[in-house]
Every structure is written in structure tokens, then in C-alpha cells.
Amino acid sequence: MAELKVIFLKVKRKVSLEEELERVVSQISLLAPEKIVLFKDLVRGKMSKNSEIALLVVGESRKKFWERAQELIENLQPKKAITLLYLTPQEFKALSDSGNSDFHQILNEGKVIYEREEKGSN
């Protein structure tokens, strides 16, 4: 019976995170970022009571790294725990070209859930 309760709680957590993910992504997409990548628990399918939404947003900004992420979080007013990395295209390229294993894990395991259409493409 205890196992069934744990399974139920994990499914409930997943559903609530997916609902919040949909809301958050619809708001972020209004900024027309280049891409949004989902990573960690929702992609891996390994839920726990501490699971959160983890997003990598790539888009133009003149603000400093922490300022742009903080501003976006404040505007989103998330209802669930969220980790948000907001990189400029230049930062994204530099990290992609680097040997940073944590970043490469995000790229390898992550799932692109939004990608801006380029002007002129059908």
C-alpha cells in the first residue's frame, strides 16, 4: 500500500510540474528566445517530491547573467520550484564549444521544447 501511495504522489507531482511547465513556456515564448531546453527530472522521468522544472533559455539580452535570470523568474512568478539558466547565444556557443561536462549533460539529456522559427522559413 505504501508503494502505491509513493507512485501516486510521483504521478501527481509530474502532472503538476507539466501544467506549470506549459504555463511558464508560453510566457517565455512571448520573449521570442532562440530556444528553450527542458532538462533534469521531467526529461529523465525520475520524479520525487523534490522534482522541479529545469529550463535552459537561449535569447538575446544586454543584462548580466544573474540579472536576466532573476528578472525572468520574477516576471514568471512560478508556482512550482524552477531552475532557470538564461544564456545569450554567444554564451551558449561558448559553453557548447567548451569541455564543461555539466553543460554537455544538459545538451545531451535535455529536450528542446521550443525553438524560434527563423524569418523567411516556412
- Do the domain assignments include residue 22? yes
CATH number, domain of 72, equals: 3.30.460.10
Q: Does residue 121 belong to any structural domain of this protein?
A: no
Residue 122 is predicted with a pLDDT of 52
CA 3 to chain CA centroid, nearest Å: 30
The length of the chain is 122
In a domain, 101, yes or no: yes
pLDDT > 70? residue 120 = no
Percent of the chain with pLDDT over 90: 79
- CB proximity list for 97: less than 8 A, separation 6 or greater: none
Per residue in 59-76, pLDDT (tens digit) is 999 999 999 999 999 999
Structurally, how many domains does the chain consist of?
Answer: 1
Domain that holds residue 111: 2-115
How far does Cα 9 stand from its chain's mean position? 22
In a domain, 18, yes or no: yes
More confident residue, 34 or 1: 34
Q: Tell me if 13 is assigned to some domain.
A: yes
pTM as predicted: 0.89
pLDDT band at 121 (very low <50, low <70, confident <90, very high): low
Per-residue pLDDT at 105: 94
pLDDT band (50, 70, 90) for residue 9 = confident
99 within 8 A of 72, measured Cβ to Cβ = no
